[in-house]
């Protein structure tokens, strides 16, 4: 239900989490140079929080506020979200 992205991950391919219908959270190491979370929300962003890369399809909160500095949301970011 959760995926942890360690500091060693440099590239996450398109649709890497496709089919992960029970995914509730994506936790990124604070030492990762390419990816991050915003205020511990467990959503996958680029390092500078300007792009949402993946929103967990079974995210455990009903409301989600997109951070103000987001400039891009990748295609299919919210695909198959259950809530």
pTM of the model: 0.87
CA dist list (Å): 82 to 13, 38, 45, 54, 56 = 23, 21, 20, 14, 9
CA distance 18 to 48: 24
Q: Which residues of the chain have pLDDT under 50?
A: none
Q: What is the pLDDT of residue 36?
A: 96
Q: What is the pLDDT of residue 13?
A: 87
Q: What is the pLDDT of residue 82?
A: 66
């Amino acid at each position: 239900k959760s995926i942890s992205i360690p500091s060693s991950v440099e590239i996450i391919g398109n649709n890497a989490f496709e089919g992960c219908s029970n995914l509730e959270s994506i936790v990124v190491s604070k030492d990762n140079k390419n990816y991050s979370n915003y205020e511990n929300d467990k959503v996958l962003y680029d390092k500078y929080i300007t792009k949402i890369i993946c929103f967990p399809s079974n995210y455990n909160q009903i409301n989600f506020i997109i951070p103000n500095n987001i400039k891009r949301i990748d295609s299919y970011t919210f695909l198959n979200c259950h809530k």
